[in-house]
Structure 1
Amino acid sequence: MNQPSTLSPRNGDIERPASDRNVTPAMERQTLTPAQLQERSIISNSLAPRPEVNAFRDLRTRLQATADGHNFVTLVTAVSPGSGASYVCRNLAAAFAFHDTRSAMVLDCNPYHPSQHTTMRIEPVRGGLTDYLRDPETDLGDIVYETGVPRLRLIPAGSPDEFGGEYFSSFRMHLLLDTLRNRYPARYLLLDGPPVSSGPDARILSDLADIVVLVAGYGRDSPAAIAQAAANFDPNKFAGVVFNQGV
């Protein structure tokens, strides 16, 4: 697996109540085995010491320390394509879900090159984020998928659409995040955004987030490119840079 560096800052399932059918996933998945987790590049909460697991636990703890005990929305975005933001986003979410009183949800917000459902081996037969945002008749519960990791859910990117990231600034997107966040106070939302260099979508998504984590490819993205990417975000939201060793 890839291993992120320590973040360098610049400055029993919780999915309840069961009666709330609007956010209850329609299909349950069996819990993944350690071998299956490794195949999907997802860390596991095992007793054996593993540097990459500790790195994500440390990152999680640092972010939680800035939030005064409240849940929050985190945007994870890369400096450039191939830097490993999706890997970092997925495993940071897994680290949040380690504790049996917390849960996490990944929203794949990269409609141009979605990857989370493929990596997690989930077939989004009921659609995903773009389907929900463009169709008011789509039910929220239809686009929430079990991942096989306890307390970790996925909303895949959805069907390709010519408007792509334009949906991110819509009222329906704001309402979606408010609903997901407020209904479960112990749930952490992570947005897997497009790279900063690909266009304005990462900056648009940052307006929806409480925290922004920037992923740089170790030995891949230059200091100048990292600084230019970081300048797109509100300094009060920008948590720092994760240097990802590999793709």
Structure 2
Amino acid sequence: MSTIERALQKQREAAEKAKKESAAKQTDSKETSDGQSTIERAGQHSATMSANKEASSNEVKVEQSTSPAEHKEPMQSAPPEPESQDVSADALHNTGAESVPTTEEVAVKDSNNQSITSANKKTLFIDIEELERNGFVSGSSTRTRVNEEFRSIKRKLLNNAFGPLKDTVESPNVIMVSSATSNEGKTFCAANLALSIALEQDVKVLLVDADVIRPALDKVLNFNVEVGLVEYLRGKEKSVENIIYDTNFKELRIIPAGNPHHLTTELLASDKMRNLANEFARRYPDRIVIFDAPPMIGVNESAVLATFSGQILIVVEENKTQLSSLTEVTELLPKDRAVGFIVNKAIRSASERYGYY
């Protein structure tokens, strides 16, 4: 081999060696890089596991400290206050929110918890002390003349309704109180009779203001309601229970007259009124029902209402009611009913004021 050939061979060997060393360095660099990536991923995975473990530990700590004595709620920053808005009643209605109930609405709802029927009803409060000062039957233990007089009247009526004679009269527990003309004291007598019967231990009484032309029971007993007998007879109230109101007298309930209507007198003579009276007689045989009816003279429907009642009381004002008027009244009354008279505003002696008997 010549000198030139040996020199070329050495160059080729040197180049081959250099090429191998370069390839070896690239392989070492790649392995180092891959090793570092693996270490970094392992570190990240380790950190993730550590964080999860710490979170799990925190959850366990919270679950273990939820007893009322040991648990403390973490402090939270207060949420930002909402902007002040003026919300009207219409807006509350449109959004479905409930408005704050008025005092009247609360009273109605409270009474409906105790009542057997309508949510629109309330208990009528009767001021017993005020009535006593005005000469009405007293609910106290004090014995007064008016108490004794109406006690005597109610005994006869109760005996007719529940005694041996009850089978001789149709609907003996339904009593109509009327007068020949107006302003003779029929509402006063009807209210006192109801109050006196309500003091009985085992007798319930329903007082109905059937004087739908000139209702006065609400003024005498001092209450104010909008729904009553007229609304039921007109069909605005479907159930009679919706117009029967409880009172603070345990055994006394009231049906007010309701709002005036141009057909009020015709409503009293309607079949619906007859059916209502018959329902009272049949459905509540242990209850006394008292109708405060319009005067007999000048109101034809009062004579029709008398046919719905088993017992009829005519109030006569002393020194005012004419004998001719009484004769006319008796001719209008059914012949097969138990009829009685109450003399009102009677002067017993010069030293006494008015007595009622």
TM-score, normalised with respect to structure 2: 0.58
Q: 2:122 aligns with which of 22, 27, 37?
A: 27
Q: Which amino acid aligns with 1:173?
A: M
Residue 130 of structure 1, CA deviation: 0.8
Residue 180 of structure 1, CA deviation: 3.2
**Identity of paired residues, percent?**
21
Residue 39 of structure 1, CA deviation: 5.4
SS in 1 for 2:332: coil
CA 1:47–1:38: 2 relative to 1, 3 Å = closer
Distance 2:258 2:326 in 1: 29
Check whether the contact 2:136–2:146 (CA below 8 A) recurs between aligned residues. no
- Mapped pair 1:124 → 2:225: yes
Equivalences for residues 52-71 of structure 1 within 5 A: 52-69=146-163
Distance 2:200 2:324 in 1: 38
Equivalences for residues 1-247 of structure 1 within 5 A: 21-22=116-117, 26-29=121-124, 32=126, 34-38=128-132, 42-69=136-163, 72-125=173-226, 127-135=227-235, 137-245=237-345
Residue 60 of structure 1, CA deviation: 0.8
Q: Which has the higher strand share?
A: 1
SS in 2 for 1:198: coil
Q: Which residue of 1 aligns with 2:32?
A: none
Q: Which residue of 1 aligns with 2:40?
A: none
Distance 1:39 1:104 in 2: 23
CA 1:34–1:199: 2 relative to 1, 3 Å = closer
SS in 2 for 1:131: helix
Q: Which has the higher helix share?
A: 2
| Greater RCO structure (CA 8 Å; 6+ sep) | 1
The Cα offsets for residues 42-94 of structure 1, whole Å up to 9 and x where unpaired, read as 41243322121111111111112223435610110011111000111111111
Distance 1:149 1:40 in 2: 18
- Show structure 1 runs of 4+ deviating over 4 A: 22-25
SS in 1 for 2:161: coil
| Count of residue pairs the alignment pairs up | 228
Cα RMSD (Å) of the superposition? 2.6
Residue 29 of structure 1, CA deviation: 4.6
Distance 2:219 2:181 in 1: 20
Which shows bigger deviation, 205-214 or 111-120? 111-120
The Cα offsets for residues 126-163 of structure 1, whole Å up to 9 and x where unpaired, read as x1101100116433232112333331111111111111
CA 1:212–1:29: 2 relative to 1, 3 Å = closer
Point out the structure with max Rg over C-alpha.
2
Q: Which amino acid aligns with 2:145?
A: P
What stretches of structure 2 of length at least 5 have no aligned partner? Answer: 1-112, 167-171, 346-353
Residue 234 of structure 1, CA deviation: 1.9
Check whether the contact 1:214–1:230 (CA below 8 A) recurs between aligned residues. no
CA 1:176–1:217: 2 relative to 1, 3 Å = same
Residue 212 of structure 1, CA deviation: 0.8
